[in-house]
Amino acid sequence: MSDNSGYKIDRRTLLTRSVPACAAACAGLCRLPGMTTLAEGCLEQEHKFDAPLDRSLSGRQFTALQNQKFFEFIRIMQAELPEDEMMRLLLAHSAAVGRRAGENQRSRSPDNSFQTYVATFRPPRYANSLTHEVVVDTEKVFELRVTECIWATVYRDAGLDGELGHAALCNMDYHWPTAFNPALKMERNRTLMQGHDHCNHRYIDTT
């Protein structure tokens, strides 16, 4: 699940987010503190293909653009494969994405405790992508009520919501916490993607 609403693609943002590539290109010539300073120090070294574009996109537009190729691939599978095989592949793909998200989060976190995990979803995190509130918050249970989701909106706009969208995207949510810590799990029986009025993400520490 990224925060993209009101996303502004400007020179400073793209440079800041491209520091590793810029640093490699500079080959040690720009050893300045701070990511932005480093990027700006490398500015004269950049190739014209790496020059940032001056474009402004809304969160909905940016998320749709991010998913455009994936949507095209889903439509190809719809045309070429039986529905059960297409759904199997989408579930396998989203499960792998969820596991990778959990593993990446674990590698960046100071520990793999339950509270460290759920901190990722506490408002105002994801405020530009979700409208959500915490409805249960205990030592071992954390539940979110999500009433708006930018990904469900974009999938619906593309005509790829429902069970298909759930398999392609929402299924990842079950695999993310377990990859972060095998003792954690998520339960849910409502999603905006499937046409309900909210999502009820319930994270549980089973220890």
The predicted pLDDT at position 22 comes to: 38
More confident residue, 50 or 183: 183
The predicted pLDDT at position 44 comes to: 57
More confident residue, 55 or 180: 180
Q: Where in the chain is the domain with CATH 3.30.1380?
A: 86-205
Cβ neighbours around 72 below 10 Å, total: 10
More confident residue, 25 or 71: 71
The predicted pLDDT at position 3 comes to: 46
- Tell me the per-residue pLDDT of 29-39, one tens digit each, with 9 for 90 and over: 343 334 343 34
pLDDT level of residue 51 (50, 70, 90 thresholds): confident
Distance CA 124, CA 142 (A): 15
CA 7 to centroid of chain Cα atoms: 14
The predicted pLDDT at position 52 comes to: 79
- Tell me the per-residue pLDDT of 142-177, one tens digit each, with 9 for 90 and over: 999 999 999 999 999 999 999 999 999 999 999 999
- Tell me the per-residue pLDDT of 70-107, one tens digit each, with 9 for 90 and over: 999 999 999 999 999 999 999 999 999 999 999 999 99
SS3 state at 147: strand
Architecture (CATH level 2) of domain 86-205: 2-Layer Sandwich (3.30)
Kindly report which listed range (5-19, 110-124, 131-145) carries the lowest average pLDDT score.
5-19
What mean pLDDT do residues 40-51 have?
A: 67
- Start-end of H helices in the chain: 11-17, 19-26, 35-41, 59-80, 83-108, 114-118, 150-157, 162-165, 172-180
The predicted pLDDT at position 91 comes to: 98
SS (H, E, C) 1-60: CCCCCCCEECHHHHHHHCHHHHHHHHCCCCCCCCHHHHHHHCHHHCCHHHCCCCEECCHH
Instruction: Give me the long-range contacts of 86-90 (CB less than 8 A, separation at least 24).
Output: 87/163, 87/164, 87/167, 90/164, 90/167, 90/168, 90/171
pTM for this predicted structure: 0.74
pLDDT level of residue 45 (50, 70, 90 thresholds): low
Distance CA 200, CA 13 (A): 34
- Tell me the per-residue pLDDT of 7-24, one tens digit each, with 9 for 90 and over: 444 433 433 333 333 333
Q: Output the CA torsion sign for 17, 23, 26, 32.
A: positive
